[in-house]
């Protein structure tokens, strides 16, 4: 009980009126695609999309500590299944400023490679989601040197997001070189840096 009282005193003393007012913090939901029973795409050597997306998301989360104006929320923090629609509804509930879903691609032909960013098909080219997608796409391609597959429109689960929402496809797990790169920590770090730079660019524009 004594400890509880002391703890309360410490907390309350930190709320003095003289304390500087904290700046507005942008809430950004980073959504590592798939998880748990849903492995996502399975690529060369059995590499699973769900592990790659979580690794990149964790890097963004850690790197974002450098930016006090950011509050990063992960839609999942471990290898667990969370229904995609519920991830978006949770972002709506906390009135997040941005929603960025991270994925990796797969295709029947191993020769296909590159990075692309998708937005829901009903968004126009004037929409904030499109603008965010372009920033993300440019930064990711510039940082990695990957083939630029551009910004694309598709029917996506993020359609119910009440904030700018995009889905990045960080590379093809069915391409030998990109499968190797995507499991490499320094390559994952480049993608995380690019995503962080792009979302900051969008939020501060
Ligand atoms: Zn996916």
CATH at 51: 3.40.630.40
Counted domains in the chain: 1
User: Is 11 inside any structural domain?
Assistant: no
- Ligand 1 centroid from CA 35, angstroms: 10
Mean pLDDT of the chain: 92
Which structure tokens are listed for 42?
Answer: 């399975």
Which structure tokens are listed for 199?
Answer: 């979302």
Range of the domain at 87: 22-203
The protein residues having their C-beta less than 5 angstroms from ligand 1 (an ion) are 33, 40, 103
- The yes-or-no answer on residue 116 being catalytic is no
Residues 153-195 have pLDDT tens digits of 999 999 999 999 999 999 999 999 999 999 999 999 999 999 9
User: Is 14 inside any structural domain?
Assistant: no
How crowded is the C-beta side of 99, counted as CA atoms within 13 Å?
A: 31
User: Is 1 inside any structural domain?
Assistant: no
| 17: number of Cβ within 10 Å | 4
CB 33 within 8 A of CB 156: no
CB 52 within 8 A of CB 104: yes
Pick the more confident residue, 93 or 11. 93
Place of tokens 């429109």: 153
User: Is 128 inside any structural domain?
Assistant: yes
């Amino acid at each position: 009980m004594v400890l509880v009282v002391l703890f309360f005193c410490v907390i309350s003393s930190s709320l003095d009126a003289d304390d500087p007012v904290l700046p507005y913090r942008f809430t950004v939901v980073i959504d590592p695609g798939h998880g748990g029973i849903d492995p996502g795409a399975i690529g060369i050597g059995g590499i699973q999309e769900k592990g790659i997306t979580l690794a990149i998301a964790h890097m963004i989360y850690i790197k974002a500590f450098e930016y006090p104006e950011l509050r990063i929320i992960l839609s999942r923090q471990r290898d667990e299944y969370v229904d995609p629609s519920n991830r978006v509804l949770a972002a709506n509930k906390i009135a997040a400023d941005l929603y960025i879903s991270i994925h990796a691609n797969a295709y029947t032909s191993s020769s296909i490679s590159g990075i692309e960013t998708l937005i829901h098909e009903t968004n126009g080219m004037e929409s904030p989601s499109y603008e965010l997608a372009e920033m993300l796409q440019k930064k990711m391609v510039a940082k990695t040197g990957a083939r630029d597959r551009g910004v694309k429109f598709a029917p996506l689960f993020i359609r119910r997001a009440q904030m700018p929402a995009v889905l990045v496809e960080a590379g093809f797990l069915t391409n030998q070189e990109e499968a190797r790169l995507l499991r490499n920590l320094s390559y994952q770090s480049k993608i995380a840096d690019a995503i962080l730079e792009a979302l900051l660019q969008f939020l501060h524009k």
